[in-house]
Amino acid sequence: MRILGIDPGTHRIGWGVIEKSGSQSTLIACGVIELPRFTVESIYLQELYSQLSNLLKLHHPDIVAIEKLFFQTNVKTAITVAEGRGVILLAVAQSNIPYVDYSPNTIKSAVAGDGAANKKAVIRMVSLILKCDTSTMLDDTCDALAVALTASTNHRI
């Protein structure tokens, strides 16, 4: 089963593709979709859609896993992330790929064994499970891989 994990953000969206075979998960590809911070919203949303659609075509995931939004005190940031997440869901839906979403606590629990785990613990477990060097990866990428790993243990196709 091929899984695309996505960590929605404002202008940097982490993504990671893993392959699950039996009890083994293997890293296929990962990175970020990044646009300049002050990109006009209409251009940002179109570019996000275009780049995500290309990722879906390139990697042919069986399922997409997305981190749910969590409560934000900054309403403007929350709205921007929600708009981007909507574009992500549209691209996935138009590709006829099923998706699942998980709360941050569910992801931490699935990957690190503790719903209150800190970022370092999650990154360390991503590195151990996927047998990869996460030291040069952005947090957004590691978070997306953690989302994909969560789907690999919680979802059955």
Residues forming the active site? 7, 67, 140
SS3 131: coil
Instruction: Report the distance separating Cα 29 and Cα 19, nearest Å.
Output: 10
Structural element, H or E, at residue 146: helix 139-154
Q: Which residues contact 26 (CB under 8 A, 6 or more apart)?
A: 18, 19, 130
DSSP state of 110: H
- Token match 């896993």: residue? 65
Instruction: Report the distance separating Cα 152 and Cα 157, nearest Å.
Output: 10
- Token match 């499970």: residue? 129
SS3 19: strand
